[in-house]
A and B are shown apart, each in its own frame.
Chain A
Amino acid sequence: MSISNFDLSKEKNGRKRSNFFSRAFSMNEFGIFLALAVLCIALGTAKPTFFSFTNVMNVLQGITLVGIMAVGEAFVIIAGGIDLSVGSIMSLSGLMIAYLVHAGVDPTISLLITLAVGFLCGFFNAFLIVKWKLNPFITTLATMNIYQGFAYLLTGGMPVQINSYLNFIGHGNIYGVPVSVIIMFFIVLAGHILLTRTVFGKKVFAVGGNERAAKLSGIRVENAKFVVYSIVGVLCALAGVISTTNLGIADPTAGSSMNLNVIAAVVIGGASLAGGKGSVIGVLIGAAIMGVLRNGFVLLRFSIYIQMISLGVVIILAVLIDIVRNKGNIFVLIRDQIRRNQN
């Protein structure tokens, strides 16, 4: 027992001495942050315009949709689930708001109804997953088609124009900073606080880490799942609103390419698809890496196809970086695996 106390005190002193850099290095997001920084510096060197204010805003605006939805997706994935229907909810919501405004509904009320539709889509996913105990992957694969189908049905597949004060959301800017970018940063901040500083956030980690243990700790696992799927639904609706008001036109296919990009951003951001691991900051960095790649390839006039290949490579690299960064821990893991075997 004296040994354990000794170890503890040593650890405490060690932690006191740790400075900002070692703390930063020990952060989970360090690996991908480094990757993003290297990527930016490389691009900035090759094309100095990369760092111009306009271009930086371009990059940021380019990642708002994926970024906002990925914050919600991060909650779902950390809670041990997955939502493949995000892009479809975005398409549906984007059409919904244009349709309502076009039909003469007050824009603010239209906005609220649209967010409610997003909420209901997410809630329905959760209902199938929690109450009927369907597999989340299959469930949202199905609702991905259902929601997308509704989006086409709503307008017969035709784009709808929108022109109201709501266009400020997607198109406006404050001191040159797009409103949508400000919204994204607000969502990221709120998501980060919700995940790391609230009891709910701890419950999300617990549910994804070990559902049975979570229940045995007094957590209402079902409620937590309803909340995370509903959050992602509302955020997708918000993304839909931003997309539509940005273009001034609602395109029923707007979100169809987003479903997997959102999951990619979460995974690049260091989340584990097994649940129990991930962060909102990581998601932002993940989305940023994807955005910077896209932007850089345009600046360098590379083919869009090479861009797709490189995105795939980045996803693999992100997972590898995570493993390498944990290398010290891997040995610990092996050792403790052995110790466990010896039990």
Chain B
Amino acid sequence: MTNEVLMELVEISKRFPGVMAVDRVNIKICKGEVHAILGENGAGKSTLMNIMFGYYPQDGGKIFWKGNEIKFDNPLEAQEVGIGMVHQENSLLPDLDVQDNIFLGHFPINGLMINRNVEKTRTLELLNELYIGDLVKPDTIVHDLTMAQKQLVEIAKALSSNPQFIMFDEPTASLTSNETEILIKIIRNLKEKGVGIIYVTHRLNEIFGLADTVTILRDGKHIISGPISEFNNEKVIKYMVGRQLEEQVYGLERVREDRSNLQTVLKVENLTKKRYFNNVSFDLKRGEILGFAGLVGAGRSEVLEAIFGYEPADSGEIYVKGDKIKITHPMISTQANIGLIPEERKLKGLFLELSVKDNINVVVDCKSGMFINRKKRKENAEESVKKLEVKTSSIEQAVMNLSGGNQQKVILSRWLLASPEILLVDEPTHGIDVGAKAEIYKIIDKLTIDGISILLVSSELPELILLCDRIAIMYHGKMVGILNREEFSQERVMSYATGQLQRDC
């Protein structure tokens, strides 16, 4: 890290109708500096980055690039001076291959034609730099990639124009620990080369040891900036949420007990789906939370979707409370009082343009007779919104206007109304801020006290360790171990998840 300033923001403000998204923020990023920007959802991090990237014009304040005041009209101008950005939401085109996605907008050309050879070799170099060269080929079509691979291709895309300054917007949200390590290695390499880096994440433990400087935003306001050495976990969280988080996270109330004598509500035997998972067996007790750990692509989500009947398994048995059930469609599992909260909220969970009320009632609608009861639907929605503290202006509000955490609560409410006995929960806190996460933990905790059993897939080990009674670990489509609570440790789970340990289960 040198003292040569790359990017400097002075009193930058941005107003959106009804909200001050960014309020007089000052930030300075030097060459070779990793600058972490932290804050809850809605704190203004993405807006700030989008201003630097030329996506939004600022309403007030000045931007200096290498000491000269600049104003970008669009992201292309920002890219031309050497600014790159890795977007949080996938901005890749699913039907194009990897190389075209990476070089879209700046294809290497040979006269009028795209120089395919250069494009391909450059793509290979980039993929190798990201250590995914043997998994992802330049001509792989993007929709065949896993979420994590897509994220890494997104990073390759940002690196392809050799930026001097690069912004990462929650790059690890869909990555597992292994891939996160790769990313951190990449960032260190970039730092060595003198690239200035902005790093936004919700996973606080990543920034210690990586970032040089920390800036914390809250409600669009600049709360504090300083060298990382002046911060620790608690301090960061305190500044971010403006209140102590611990009380919330550890406000969990359920009693840890030996559940092996309790009723088995779900028993899965030798569940197999070709190319995804093999001979997966486990059982789930009443009121238990069974976690599923593993790397992205280990087959955990696929197991949940197979149990639920969304993509049914090829073979194997599923017993619900002792009765063998053949689940070929989600309708059957919903009638067996199973619910699924899917990983990709917007893609698989929400009816974005429909109201909160319609989104909450969709499952109970299907279970009721021919006509809907409008009064009941309204009551359902109002009670759910109140119970889970969903922040929405009205139950008639389109669900797309809610924040991620509140959308997740809407999906939770949907299933809770159907009084499930088993909930399959896939990455419930993906892309959700610290405060909302804690609320989701509390809800999950509360559900099991009420006797609901939960299968929880999560890529965040602390989350699994906090919530689960047992953790099942999958590796390459196989179940390699089930740990009891007293055996929990991040290191042990990771050794199983990376295939170093294995036991019969």
Contact = CB atoms under 8 A, between A and B. Distances in A.
B232 interface: no
B41 A218 contact: no
Given A197-B372, A206-B354, A218-B333, A11 B393 contact: yes
Interface string A191-233: 0000001111111011001101111111110000000000000
Contact of B331 (A206, A210, A219): A219
Given A342-B42, A343-B432, A5 B386 contact: yes
Given A218-B366, A331-B17, A4 B353 contact: no
Interface stretch (B103-111, B145-153, B396-404): B396-404
Interface in A320-343: 329, 331-336, 338-343
B354 A276 contact: yes
Given A199-B370, A218-B331, A209 B352 contact: yes
A334 B16 contact: yes
A81 to B, nearest CB: 16
Interface in B365-419: 365-372, 374, 382, 385-386, 389-391, 393-394, 398, 400-404, 414
A1 interface: yes
B389 A199 contact: no
A202 B393 contact: no
B334 A218 contact: yes
Contact of A210 (B88, B340, B350): B350
A7 B406 CA distance: 15
B41 A339 contact: yes
A341 B50 contact: yes
Contacts of B89: 340-341
A236 B298 CA distance: 51
A198 B46 contact: no
Interface in A225-284: 272, 276-277
Nearest to A3: B391
Nearest to A200: B370
A329 B335 CA distance: 37
A217 B368 CA distance: 13
A208 to B, nearest CB: 9
A276 B342 CA distance: 20
A152 B433 CA distance: 64
A188 to B, nearest CB: 18
A216 B340 contact: yes
Contacts of A202: 358, 361-362, 365, 372
B273 interface: no
A203 B47 CA distance: 37
Nearest to B311: A215
B36 interface: no
A8 interface: yes
Contacts of B353: 209, 272, 276-277
- Between A210, A215, A277, the greatest number of chain B beta carbons within 10 A of the residue's beta carbon is seen for A210
Contacts of A4: 389-391
B18 A331 contact: yes
Contacts of A217: 330, 334, 362-363, 366, 414
Contacts of B372: 197-199, 201-202
Interface string B32-46: 000000000111111
B403 to A, nearest CB: 6
Given A200-B370, A335-B19, A220 B431 contact: no
Nearest to B169: A341
Interface in B24-72: 41-47, 50
B366 A219 contact: yes
A202 B169 CA distance: 37
B126 to A, nearest CB: 25
A11 B390 CA distance: 14
B371 A334 contact: no
Nearest to B87: A341
A230 to B, nearest CB: 17
Q: Which 5 A-B pairs have the closest CB atoms?
A: A218-B334, A209-B351, A342-B46, A331-B17, A341-B46
19 contacts: A11-B394, A197-B374, A199-B365, A202-B358, A209-B351, A213-B348, A216-B330, A216-B340, A216-B348, A217-B414, A219-B366, A276-B351, A333-B401, A334-B16, A336-B402, A338-B21, A340-B404, A342-B47, A343-B46
Given A197-B372, A213-B347, 5 more contacts: A210-B350, A213-B351, A215-B330, A336-B402, A339-B403
